[in-house]
Structure 1
Amino acid sequence: MTRINSFKPLVDKKSEILILGTIPGEKSLEANCYYGNAKNHFWDIIYRTLKPNHDFYELVGAKPKTEKYKLLLDNGIGLWDIIESCERTGSSDSKIKNEVLNDLHSFFQRNMNIKTVLFNGGKAQKYFLKQYSINQFPDVDFQRLNSTSTLNPNNTFEILNEWKRKIKTLANN
């Protein structure tokens, strides 16, 4: 079993929303990019949510990492993972063992502008709750959204609509 590490947080001073996943899968690690597996729906959902004129039928997996990251940061959204490192064979979160979680206390002290954390699926939330309590961070609103993983059996359009509604609501506040 291989020990893997998460990426550094993608945040800046304008980031008020943090999307928190579990830990990058094999394709993401190979691409050195958050949600680097072109089959994951994350970037397609983000583009359809944040770029109203984006061609709905254009898949965005091959777009440059810098463009994707800039789109998030320009909209006050950051990315990170709850797990700092773990042992895992393959990419499935169900195969995670011996995980070490990222230090969210230090993160929120350095990034006091983060007001909302959106868990990308129940596994990210589950790992968060293994070490933290939402009450430890009274100035942050925590919400779970459906996972953007292709392994999620829910309807992709329902997931898209859920993410769009949540992000647009937060952006208008």
Structure 2
Amino acid sequence: MTQSPELSGFPPVLAPDAAILLLGSFPGVASLAQAQYYAHPRNQFWRLLGACLEVEALHLLPYEERLRVVVRHRVGIWDVVASCRRKGSLDAAVTGAEVNPLAAYLREHAPRLECIGFNGGLSWKLGRHLADHGYRVCRLASSSPAAAMYSFEQKLEQWRPLFACRS
């Protein structure tokens, strides 16, 4: 049996004035292929984020414009895992995960960061220690199409309270 190739994630989308950070686990196959966060057409990330930011058509904008809107709203996007091996897109298939240096990086590059939302179970498992560094953290229902047990509305209900940090 051949070993999966080592995969590398994306750099953070994070401005120094960010108040909120959404941390995923690691980009899926579609995201890696397109070099875009949350590129799978059934992933609800951009719809959820648009609803939370009251930018309803966010998911319809070109990717670079979506990123500009996110930064303007003082929201950052990153993943907990910097590199790993994985076949497919499921978090359960991740092996050999190398975690990003989250606390040190965030302290230096996003000094106004207050709240971190973890998009799914693996990101929560590997990153919830950030609460020990003074951040308000919360586990969010995953935006992944694999998390079909929650409707869009149920996910949105979990996501919305995080965005009170921007006020």
The normalised TM-score by structure 1 is 0.86
Root mean square deviation of aligned Cα:
1.7
Q: Which amino acid aligns with 1:147?
A: S
**Aligned residue-pair number:** 162
Equivalent position of 1:156 in the other structure: 152
CA distance in 1, matches of 2:52, 2:116: 17
Equivalent position of 2:114 in the other structure: 115
Q: Is the 8 A contact 2:115 2:162 kept in 1?
A: no
* 5+ long unaligned stretches in structure 1: none
Give 1:34 deviation, angstroms: 0.7
> Residue 15 of structure 2 is aligned with which of 12, 16, 19?
12
Any residues of structure 2 matched to 1:11-160 within 5 Å, and which?
A: 11-51=14-54, 54=56, 60=59, 63-110=61-108, 111-129=110-128, 132=129, 134-135=131-132, 137-138=133-134, 140-152=135-147, 153-160=149-156
Greater CA deviation, 119-128 or 157-166?
A: 157-166
Q: Deviations over 1:89-117 (max 9, x none)?
A: 00000000011000013212212111111
Q: Is the 8 A contact 2:23 2:117 kept in 1?
A: yes
Q: Is the 8 A contact 2:17 2:111 kept in 1?
A: no
Q: Which amino acid aligns with 1:125?
A: W
Runs of 4+ deviating beyond 3 Å: none
CA distance in 1, matches of 2:131, 2:162: 19
CA distance in 2, matches of 1:105, 1:19: 14
Q: Is the 8 A contact 2:11 2:78 kept in 1?
A: yes
Q: Is the 8 A contact 2:14 2:71 kept in 1?
A: yes
Percent of aligned positions that are identical: 25
CA distance in 1, matches of 2:141, 2:99: 21
